[in-house]
Amino acid sequence: MKNFCRGFPPEYLPLTILDGGMGLKKTGILTFHCADNYGAVLQAYALMKEIQNLGHEVEIIDFRPSVIVDFYQNKSISIRESVSRVGLYKTARRWISYKLRSKTIASRLKNFDSFRREYLSISKEKYRSFEELKGANWDFDYLVTGSDQVWNPDFFMPTGGAYFLDFGGKNVKRVSYAPSIARDVEELHYEYYVDYLKNFDHISVRERSAERLLSKLTDKPITVALDPTLLLKADDWDRISSTKNAVDKYVLVYDLIKDPTTVTLANNVAKEYGLKIISYGSRRGYHNWSRSFEGAHPKEFLALFRDAEFIVTSSFHGTAFSIIYNKPFYTVPHPVRGSRMIDLLRVLGLGSRIITNPEISVTKIDFGEANNRLGALRARSKDFLREALC
């Protein structure tokens, strides 16, 4: 059956073959869908679509741990609790920032909720903790964790075994699809990976650095797979993007940390090509600035990448959508989580787009070889999913 399924696309398989004659296979996805972050919701959409294309009934489990929800939705906690978590200085900065950006935050929350309602198939039940997941009754044939940073210790330590699928019964098949670890892992966390990886029937990760680490901690084969956003092509994303965008030509700056190198580089690109600047954050430091897209709907986010003349980013998904749309771009690697974008660019032969010095000559890109490599990686990643879920 496995070879048969791998040899034919799902649209040509009768349901009795796809599901063994007992109805559609049911797959639950656990990921960061509740994060009000463009990469998070778009990778969740892409993974859902790819598994649906394999003939499965797919549901994103509405797991909403406080470590994710509180951070992205700026939910209020007591000042005392905030100070104990992050200190007085960061608490004060966050409070001031929240007050200044309250309207933008409200718009962002509304737009992300709108996207989830329209495009994501989410479970009716909400789960706030790992204990609630463990106590629920599940009828999935497969559980899939990933992509995003679900195996980053910063996120999985507060949520127990949730993102390692340590729930759901003995008979369910467990698959990881391209989870990211995203940073160096201290040895004290190794035991968690050793224990939890025993649960999995198929394992893939997003970075080669993660493959090297986990290969030392398990005897199971590990595949390096593309982030789900890269499984879809530009035409696929255009189907859900906004149809209209800015009138002026612009350089798009997607930088979540306001890195000085990113600001200088964006100013240099804008000056070189006579472009406006549309940024994720405030106008501070930018020349010829037009507006911020911080509160934009994910559909507008896609359109901004589609229509940009040039892109400067410190984000993995900013890098991914630059590649999907074949836009000239530069990536300034995140100081902590930069391995994800560095690995991707090097494997695609785009290492020259990694920038640490903003005083460079601005150049465009021949995407021919990169697109060929991406096509091969896309096919390999889809093969992994097909074999794991068939």
Query: Could you tell me the pLDDT band of residue 98, with boundaries at 50, 70 and 90?
Result: low
- Rounded to whole angstroms, how far apart are CA atoms 316 and 54? 27
Q: What is the mean pLDDT of residues 18-43?
A: 85
**CATH architecture observed for domain 241-359:** 3-Layer(aba) Sandwich (3.40)
Same fold, 2-83+99-232+376-388 and 241-359: yes
- Rounded to whole angstroms, how far apart are CA atoms 270 and 290? 11
Show the CA angle centred on residue 123, arms to residues 116 and 234, nearest 5°. 40
pTM: 0.88
Q: What is the mean pLDDT of residues 250-261?
A: 92
Q: What is the predicted pLDDT for the residue at 22? A: 54
Picking from 388, 377, 5, the residue whose alpha carbon sits closest to that of residue 224 is 377
Decide which of 3.40.1000, 1.20.1250, 3.40.50, 3.40.1130 is the CATH code for 2-83+99-232+376-388: 3.40.50
Task: Give the list of residues 6+ apart from residue 75 with CB closer than 8 angstroms, or none.
Answer: 66, 69
Residue 58 is encoded by which pair of tokens?
């797919």
Domain parsing of the chain, residue ranges = 2-83+99-232+376-388, 241-359
Q: What is the predicted pLDDT for the residue at 259? A: 87
Least confident of 2-11, 63-72, 162-171, 304-313: 2-11
* Residue where the block lists tokens 């369910």: 172
Query: Could you tell me the pLDDT band of residue 83, with boundaries at 50, 70 and 90?
Result: low
**Contact status, residue 177 vs residue 150, Cβ threshold 8 Å:** no
What does residue 215 show for φ and ψ, rounded to 5 degrees? -65, -25
Q: What is the predicted pLDDT for the residue at 66? A: 87
Q: What is the predicted pLDDT for the residue at 95? A: 64
Q: What is the predicted pLDDT for the residue at 364? A: 82
Q: Which residues, in sequence order, are bridge partners of residue 174? A: 143
Task: Give the list of residues 6+ apart from residue 183 with CB closer than 8 angstroms, or none.
Answer: 152, 153, 154, 336, 337, 339
Which secondary-structure segment (H or E) carries 334? none
Q: For residue 215, count CB atoms less than 10 angstroms from its CB and return exposed for 0-12, middle for 13-18, buried for 19 or more.
A: middle
Task: Give the list of residues 6+ apart from residue 353 with CB closer than 8 angstroms, or none.
Answer: 329, 330, 331, 345, 365
Q: What is the predicted pLDDT for the residue at 106? A: 87
The pairs formed by 186-190 with CB atoms below 8 angstroms and a separation of 24 or more are 186/153, 189/153, 189/157, 190/217
Pair type for strands 202-205 and 222-224: parallel
**120 or 169, which is more confident:** 120
**Helix residue ranges, H only, 136-231:** 153-156, 190-196, 208-215
Q: What is the mean pLDDT of residues 363-377?
A: 95
| 313-342 pLDDT tens trace | 999 999 999 999 999 999 999 887 777 899
State whether the Cα torsion 161-167-170-173 is positive or negative: negative
**Contact status, residue 340 vs residue 148, Cβ threshold 8 Å:** no
